[in-house]
Structure 1
Amino acid sequence: MSTQNWSDLKARMGAGAAMVVIGLAGIALGGHIFHLLVALICGTMVWELVGMLRPGVKYLQLQLGILTGLTLFLAIYLPVGLALPLLLAPAMIGFGTMERNRTVYMSFSVMILLAGYGMMQVRDDLGFGWMLWLVLVVVATDVVGYFAGRIIGGPKFWPAVSPKKTWAGTIAGWIGAAFVGILFSINTGAGVQLMGVSIAVSMASQMGDIAESGMKRKMGVKDSSNLIPGHGGLMDRFDGMLGAAMFLLVIGRFIGFPPGLG
């Protein structure tokens, strides 16, 4: 087992610890503070997205990043029917102003906006505990998968796009998410279906990670930005949360989330 497998561990843990503290504080406080935190994160991710797709066009980066943050912050205070046009507006405006990579921008910006809105709704409607469940499922998927992939190794999941991701790490992430689901089902009274939902959310998280990796590979960039020294950008760290939150937003109403309690 090569020491190179662990070369990013120190940076990953340091950045992860800082984000955990900030994230938990925002989730615990909820309300306007959490809304503002999510809007800032999503606005910054769109800023990073435009920087990858249209490098050097600083004014467009700033405009679309600010527009995303503002519209997302406003949308959560409106009835859903009025919020929907706001949530899609930055994607449509960017699609009309980007000279290339328009479809990629539109797809990722919509995912960012809907995921941010979904996280706000989970915190507002379901409370601290279920927002914590969502975060822990994504974190367990990432952390358990990271260690299992490097300790066990084995066949790669998609070496052309994500050379470090293995099948062992991918499956271990599902197991970690299932464990989180079991713990929450025991402590909340939610049904056993929560374990299956947790695994599905874990898979959606991995899909978000893979989608961003594929986009970066296509654009020829290693990281979404250098905002986190030695560790990339916010999109690199929240790509899994994007997939998970958007998936939960879509399927939550169908399954009566939380299962057994809805």
Structure 2
Amino acid sequence: MSGNAQWSDLMPRVISALVMASIGLIVILTGGWLFTLAIAMIAGAMTWEVMRMFMAPKAISHGVLCGFAVFLSALLPSILVLPILGAAVFVSAAHIERDKGVFIGFSLWVLLACFGFILLRHEAALTWMLWLVLIVIGTDIAGYFAGRILGGPKFWPAISPKKTWSGTVAGWAVSAIVGVIFIGPTGTGFGLVVVSVVLSFSSQMGDIAESAIKRRMGVKDSSNLIPGHGGFLDRFDGMMGASVVFALFWVIGLLSSGAS
């Protein structure tokens, strides 16, 4: 691959990333219903992309249904969350002819991760959300540049041929630095560095999981909604992987005990 071709997607990626980061920062800082609505809309867009990848009809209407289910789940008692999200997924799954079990599992992961992100924004201090976002963004950026500059052995070539061990380890290193920076603001100890690396790995596994689905369905990107990044699933797969593990840590009290 020539030098120019290697970096041909850099400019659209940077522009799209700056726009998304600016909007995302405003939404995260504002919180409340704006944050809930934004995540519900993203959940709907990602469900639409999943439906398209599985070549299902009425993808838009089911994307709206699943987005509304996430928004509704944020308003109702927690005992109703899984039934509501599950019902939306199973209604959509009725139109899936191939790999229905894979579709159900993947779609539930998408919706639960989105709901978990909403829950954590409402329950956790803002500092924790910024920490999580910086880990995911740092992992992605470090992996992108280290993988292209250093190259080397592939991390999981059968599923994601572009990912390298150098990029993977670079993501862990950057997340560890983020963890060190946030020890003081979160009131935790050195264990936060370890958790940061775990979340970095979870982010990478979220990316790998989506890559596996795309390879199985024979598509390159989940959509072309975001220039240089593909679709919302392509952009937020890492965030979903990390947010699920973050929510688990939060629920068991591993992180919430240090919240301020």
Q: TM-score, normalised by structure 2?
A: 0.94
- TM superposition shift of 1:261: 4.3
Residue 26 of structure 1: aligned partner: 27
How many residues of Structure 1 are paired with residues of Structure 2 in the alignment?
A: 259
Matched, 1:214 2:231: no
Kept after mapping to 2: 8 A contact 1:190/1:258 = no
Superposed CA offset, 1:146-172 (max 9, x none)? 111111111011222212110010011
Alignment of 1:34-45 (within 5 A): 34-45=35-46
User: What letter is aligned with 1:69?
Assistant: G
Contact 1:46–1:109, Cα closer than 8 Å, also in 2:
yes
C-alpha separation in 1, matches of 2:233 and 2:137 = 15
Cα offset for 1:250? 2.4
Unpaired runs of 5+ residues, structure 1, are none
For 1:194 and 1:93, the matched residues in 2 are separated by 40
Q: Distance in 1 between matches of 2:22 and 2:165?
A: 30
Work out which of the residue numbers 49, 67, 70 in structure 1 matches 2:68.
70
8 Å CA contact 1:95–1:105 kept in 2: the answer is: yes
Is 1:159 the equivalent of 2:153? Answer: no
CA contact (8 A) 1:140 1:173 kept: yes
The whole-number CA distance in structure 2 between the counterparts of 1:93 and 1:198 is 37
What is the Cα deviation at residue 259 of structure 1? 5.4
How do 1:184-199 residues align onto structure 2 when only pairs under 5 Å count? 184-199=182-197
Task: Supply the distance in 1 between the matched residues of 2:137 and 2:15 (Cα, whole angstroms).
Answer: 14
Q: Distance in 1 between matches of 2:177 and 2:81?
A: 35
Give the secondary structure class of the aligned counterpart of 2:161: strand
1:164-183 → structure 2 map (5 Å cutoff): 164-183=162-181
| Percent of pairs with identical residues | 49
CA separation in 1, counterparts of 2:115 and 2:28?
14
| AA partner of residue 201 (structure 2) | M
The answer as to 2:121 corresponding to 1:123 is yes
2:251 maps to which of 247, 250, 253: 253
In the alignment, structure 1 residue 47 sits paired with structure 2 residue 58: no
RMSD of the alignment, in Å? Answer: 1.6
Q: Which amino acid aligns with 2:42?
A: I
